[in-house]
Amino acid sequence: MDGKMKVLRLFKMLHRTRQHVFQNDFRALEAARQKINEEFQKNKNESAPEKISELLKIGQDVELLLRTTVIQGVHTDSHRIVLQPREEVLLDNMPYCDNPKK
């Protein structure tokens, strides 16, 4: 696939992930939008294929990190925050067993 298409696909994927992860948090949505746009703008004139590949890998890692580790918290009153984990963040919790059954 063409390098420009990979960059554009990553840009769109980061913005979709941002919208999903920070849903209904307008301040976080705007901050993430600005940071994504700033990073892409900063590297828009990069032409070395190795550097572009490295930047694409970093962007993909950031997208994965956002999607799998960020948990949204909502203030319910002045002393409480309710966490709203997404399904991607939840892991299967298997109890540890010293003597596994065969």
> Residue 3 is encoded by which pair of tokens?
């390098």
Dihedrals phi, psi of 64, to nearest 5 degrees:
-65, -45
Per-residue pLDDT of the chain (102 residues; tens, 9 = 90+): 688 899 999 999 999 999 999 988 899 999 999 999 999 999 999 889 999 999 999 999 999 999 888 888 888 888 898 888 887 777 766 666 667 676
Cα separation, 63 vs 31, in Å, equals 15
Cα separation, 84 vs 71, in Å, equals 6
The reported pLDDT for the residue numbered 95 is 66
Cα separation, 4 vs 40, in Å, equals 12
The reported pLDDT for the residue numbered 89 is 76
Q: Is the pTM of this model over 0.85?
A: no
